[in-house]
Structure 1
Amino acid sequence: MHLPARALRTIRSHGMLSAGGRVLVAISGGADSVALLHILRVLQDRRELTIAGLGHLNHQLRGAEADADEAFCRGLAAAADLAIEVGREDVMAAALREGRSLEDAARVVRYRFLEEAAGRRQADVIAVGHSLDDQAETFLLRLTRGAGSRGLGGIRPRAGRVIRPLLEISRADLRLYLKGHGLEFRDDASNLDVRIPRNRIRKALIPSLEQYAPGIVPVLARQAQIAREDEEYLERIATEVAQSVVLKTERGTELQTAALLELPRAIASRVVRQALELAAPGRFIAFGHIDGVLGLARGDEGAALALPGLVATRVGHAVVCGKPTVGRNWNTLRVPLSIPGEAVLGGWTVEATRADRAGAIRLPPSRGPLAVVAARPLGEPLTVRTRRKGDRFRPLGMGGRGRKLQDFLTDRKVPRRERDSLPLVVDRDDRIVWVAGHSVAEDFRVTAPEEGVILLKVRRLGGLG
């Protein structure tokens, strides 16, 4: 079956687009996106769809190479007599400003631009060029990071307005298609950088797996599909159950503990996730957060847990999830900090992300709401806590000399009333990694960015930090 026919089968089987629908084609200039454009033009000639235009975002990460990619995409649009929407964004600055990894910031900025471009071009959907190999790589990447079935489901064929017509076509088949039609494309040198986890999986792990199981890529992609279908079923069951377990009241979002604890773990955990997403939309929810809420359901009256954007408290026969109270004394709490993720402690939120393209990270000033620390010496998991009697650490820039935290805060002229609530990021061994807003510990200073770094960000609740 020719590739346009296979792409059309994918479009139809996943309900991506109605006949004649308008499509904005996301184009980077790379092989997959050039193949996507050509395939969709063939389908347009067959009156299966209408190309509303192209969308290209210059991430400003590769200097002249990125500018050349932009010029190439403009040339593709002109040759095809198609309109093109071009955007420019300093993704590095966005990553530092928002406390995200470079990969995550690029994704967020890219899809935001594409959504805006689709609106201007009056497109029904946005087509992107993810292939079968991208699905397999995503499955392995998330597997190595400990994802559950929700994450192992990988790349969805359709998510909102974004569709992926090439998701069931291999990268090798796309390259043969390009060669057969004499189509030129751009190579992104960063795809060869094995410091990036996805590239390591592509260049090292998958070839190794192929030695044990030839044809492993479609097998991995099929596993992602199975995980996604299982997750969708369990999520539907959880949604039905949540109607009688989760209540929205004046106190916040409440989980009825007796009903929750009677549920199978697979359903209970999803009900908790749905409740937390209802209470704090858009926040990252990790396994540790869900376990913590289930622990509260089994726990004692008055027990509390700080979570991203809210606090969960055991009150009577319910776990109540509500907004944090700044004035509460949090000195007895240790709040887990997932990577990526965030922790709320008193009047502060601390966020952590892993930088995949660490070699390009610019180190922020030692004082301020952003910090970059070396990933290798960290003992995970991280925790956010307040100070304790006897705390010591080695502040950055003091020649490796250790200091009492109390003396350090005094020298920094941190007001006494703020010292007890100031968040400290500590590692598994309770070593201070970052005195939020003031100093990274010398033990975690970045000396070899290529070995990986963690981005940390702190802000006051209700403020920008």
Structure 2
Amino acid sequence: MYHKVKAYIEKYHMLDEKDKVIVGVSGGADSICLLFMLIQLKKEMGLSVEAVHVHHGLREKTADADAVYVKKVCKELGIGLRLYYEDVKSFALYNKMSEEEAGRYVRRRIFKEVLQEAGGTKIALAHHQNDNAETLLWNLCRGCSLKGMGGIAPVDGVFIRPLLCLKREEIESYLVNRGISYCTDETNLEDGHTRNRIRNHVIPYLEEQVNERAVSHMSETMEQMRQLWKYVESETTRYAARCIKVSKDQTRRVLLKAEFILVPEALRSYVLHECICQAAGGRKDIESVHTKMLSELLDNQVGRQARLPYGIVAVRRYEGIELRREGDGRPKDQNPEGLMKMRTLPRTSGKVIFPENPYTKWFDYDIIKNTVKIRHREPGDYITIDKNGKTQKLKQYFINEKIPQEERDRIWLIADGKHIMWIVGYRQNQQYQITENTRRILEIEFCGG
């Protein structure tokens, strides 16, 4: 069996010579078997091995006995051991997690801490084929993506799982034949957790009533799914780079519809998922329901919104869908008055020579009714669009000009009350134009933004 494990390690390039391996040892059959395998590899590859045992503060006396046993084994093998005592129950209550989930989180945190403190290179965990079959069935029953169908990966960053090529029976047989004892976690025999019910009832039924090699076949299928996921992930990254436009300040992302419709249909949900994850800065809790919301939003009219995890707001725009954190939409300007300069000029006789600078405009001073202000849009704003006095709501002007909604809140306006004199960078109000009746000119120079 050792050669089987060694070949599996070589297949996935889990270990290199001189690696320093941090191994999680609970005292159960799986972790004890892994420890003995690593000891043998240590002799061949010059590895350095250090064990870590985490006492969860549960199971009272039996957990204490597990810690004592692990100490004894490590001492006999000449392996360094770090023993941690954690209050997993309190941690679970505080973080509103199950004890099973909390225990997993605490263990992984400690393993990573030890890896850094000890200068380790790999963290070895004792998952085996039965664990993986349980994971696959649990993922399928609660709903999962293609990645979830790959189960537990042999290598995941610094984490390695050398025993994924073995069934539980092989591990226990190996230990019994060599007279190596191990601890039994009695809670694994209880049906309080879903995973336990799958372990104790579903898998035995499949092996007895459907196919005795059910676990092995599931393991082979998961390997195929992992290979397929690698390809899908690579293609998703490639298409996402084409479809997702990132703002210069990194606060907004736009999913470009023109590019997205060119993505093969089988990959679209993955590209949508990647778009949300990029905007959120995380992947946890991004589920298929959220990618579906984004897909439906693409078929909605401009301006429609959807709220996603991490405070992300998705808004339908002309070019696609904008994703940003809630509250990032409107600019926060401290001194807008400093962005414009104004002066009054007399209207001279003869031909009027207007300023060539597109950011300097002239207006008929005497028809202005209110204090001229520079600001962003407000409800009720309107503009006169022709010499006959025809007016148009500012919102409608933006729609007609197909100005993206995310830009509308950033456009500067020179306003006479609700009457917009100048949409900076776009057009000037016809009513304030210089005519033969103009006596005084208000010159406004836009200086920034």
- State the distance in 2 between where 1:271 and 1:109 align: 32
How far residue 253 of structure 1 moved from its aligned partner, in angstroms, is: 2.0
How far residue 315 of structure 1 moved from its aligned partner, in angstroms, is: 2.0
Match of 1:34 in 2: 32
Aligned pair in 2 of structure 1 residues 233, 293: CA closer, same or farther (>3 Å)? Answer: same
Query: Which of 111, 118, 126 is 1:121 aligned to?
Result: 118
How far residue 276 of structure 1 moved from its aligned partner, in angstroms, is: 1.6
Please say if residues 254 and 320 of structure 1, whose CA atoms lie closer than 8 Å, have aligned partners that are also in contact.
yes
Match of 2:135 in 1: 138
- State the distance in 1 between where 2:266 and 2:53 align: 41
Aligned pair in 2 of structure 1 residues 326, 256: CA closer, same or farther (>3 Å)? Answer: closer
Match of 1:429 in 2: none
Is the counterpart of residue 95 in structure 1 residue 92 in structure 2? Answer: yes
Match of 1:108 in 2: 105
Query: Which of 173, 176, 180 is 2:177 aligned to?
Result: 180
Aligned pair in 2 of structure 1 residues 95, 30: CA closer, same or farther (>3 Å)? Answer: same
Cα deviations by residue, 1:224-274 (Å, 9 ceiling, x for unpaired): 111111111111001011111112214512211222133223211111111
The one-letter code of the counterpart of 2:286 is I
- State the distance in 2 between where 1:299 and 1:103 align: 42
Match of 1:212 in 2: 210
Query: Secondary structure of the equivalent of 1:165?
Result: coil
Larger radius of gyration: 2
- State the distance in 1 between where 2:260 and 2:103 align: 39
Q: How many aligned positions are there? A: 325
- State the distance in 1 between where 2:63 and 2:300 align: 55
Equivalent residue runs for 1:24-423 within 5 Å: 24-46=22-44, 48-210=45-207, 211-249=209-247, 250=249, 251-282=251-282, 283-309=284-310, 310-325=312-327
Match of 1:346 in 2: none
- State the distance in 2 between where 1:267 and 1:176 align: 44
Please say if residues 150 and 222 of structure 2, whose CA atoms lie closer than 8 Å, have aligned partners that are also in contact.
yes
Match of 1:16 in 2: 14
Worse overlay, 236-245 or 72-81: 72-81
Please say if residues 5 and 162 of structure 2, whose CA atoms lie closer than 8 Å, have aligned partners that are also in contact.
yes
Give structure 2 stretches of 5+ with no counterpart. 331-449
How far residue 327 of structure 1 moved from its aligned partner, in angstroms, is: 11
The one-letter code of the counterpart of 2:320 is A
Please say if residues 38 and 49 of structure 2, whose CA atoms lie closer than 8 Å, have aligned partners that are also in contact.
no
How far residue 183 of structure 1 moved from its aligned partner, in angstroms, is: 0.6
Please say if residues 22 and 49 of structure 1, whose CA atoms lie closer than 8 Å, have aligned partners that are also in contact.
no
Please say if residues 52 and 122 of structure 1, whose CA atoms lie closer than 8 Å, have aligned partners that are also in contact.
no
Match of 2:2 in 1: 4
Query: Secondary structure of the equivalent of 2:101?
Result: helix
Cα deviations by residue, 1:389-425 (Å, 9 ceiling, x for unpaired): xxxxxxxxxxxxxxxxxxxxxxxxxxxxxxxxxxxxx
The one-letter code of the counterpart of 2:256 is Q
Please say if residues 4 and 43 of structure 1, whose CA atoms lie closer than 8 Å, have aligned partners that are also in contact.
no
- State the distance in 1 between where 2:326 and 2:96 align: 21
- State the distance in 1 between where 2:281 and 2:190 align: 35
- State the distance in 2 between where 1:254 and 1:175 align: 54
Please say if residues 22 and 52 of structure 1, whose CA atoms lie closer than 8 Å, have aligned partners that are also in contact.
yes
- State the distance in 2 between where 1:163 and 1:22 align: 12
The one-letter code of the counterpart of 1:229 is Q
The one-letter code of the counterpart of 1:295 is E
- State the distance in 1 between where 2:236 and 2:175 align: 45
Give structure 1 stretches of 5+ with no counterpart. 329-465
How far residue 87 of structure 1 moved from its aligned partner, in angstroms, is: 1.6
- State the distance in 1 between where 2:237 and 2:171 align: 39
Aligned pair in 2 of structure 1 residues 165, 99: CA closer, same or farther (>3 Å)? Answer: same
- State the distance in 1 between where 2:274 and 2:46 align: 36
The one-letter code of the counterpart of 2:9 is I
Worse overlay, 75-84 or 234-243: 75-84
Aligned pair in 2 of structure 1 residues 49, 98: CA closer, same or farther (>3 Å)? Answer: farther
The one-letter code of the counterpart of 2:193 is I
- State the distance in 2 between where 1:121 and 1:256 align: 47
- State the distance in 1 between where 2:245 and 2:64 align: 52
How far residue 19 of structure 1 moved from its aligned partner, in angstroms, is: 2.2
Query: Secondary structure of the equivalent of 2:82?
Result: strand
- State the distance in 2 between where 1:6 and 1:158 align: 17
- State the distance in 2 between where 1:57 and 1:29 align: 10
Cα deviations by residue, 1:51-100 (Å, 9 ceiling, x for unpaired): 33101111112122222212221122111111111222222222222232
Please say if residues 157 and 167 of structure 1, whose CA atoms lie closer than 8 Å, have aligned partners that are also in contact.
yes
- State the distance in 1 between where 2:253 and 2:100 align: 33
Query: Secondary structure of the equivalent of 1:149?
Result: coil
Aligned pair in 2 of structure 1 residues 327, 277: CA closer, same or farther (>3 Å)? Answer: closer
Equivalent residue runs for 1:428-439 within 5 Å: none
Aligned pair in 2 of structure 1 residues 246, 327: CA closer, same or farther (>3 Å)? Answer: closer
Cα deviations by residue, 1:323-344 (Å, 9 ceiling, x for unpaired): 123999xxxxxxxxxxxxxxxx
Please say if residues 57 and 85 of structure 2, whose CA atoms lie closer than 8 Å, have aligned partners that are also in contact.
yes
How far residue 139 of structure 1 moved from its aligned partner, in angstroms, is: 0.8
The one-letter code of the counterpart of 2:131 is D
Greater relative CO, 1 or 2 (CA 8 Å, sep 6+) = 1
- Report sequence identity in percent: 31
Cα deviations by residue, 1:346-378 (Å, 9 ceiling, x for unpaired): xxxxxxxxxxxxxxxxxxxxxxxxxxxxxxxxx
- State the distance in 1 between where 2:93 and 2:328 align: 26
Worse overlay, 206-215 or 27-36: 206-215
Please say if residues 146 and 229 of structure 2, whose CA atoms lie closer than 8 Å, have aligned partners that are also in contact.
yes
The one-letter code of the counterpart of 1:277 is C
How far residue 217 of structure 1 moved from its aligned partner, in angstroms, is: 0.6
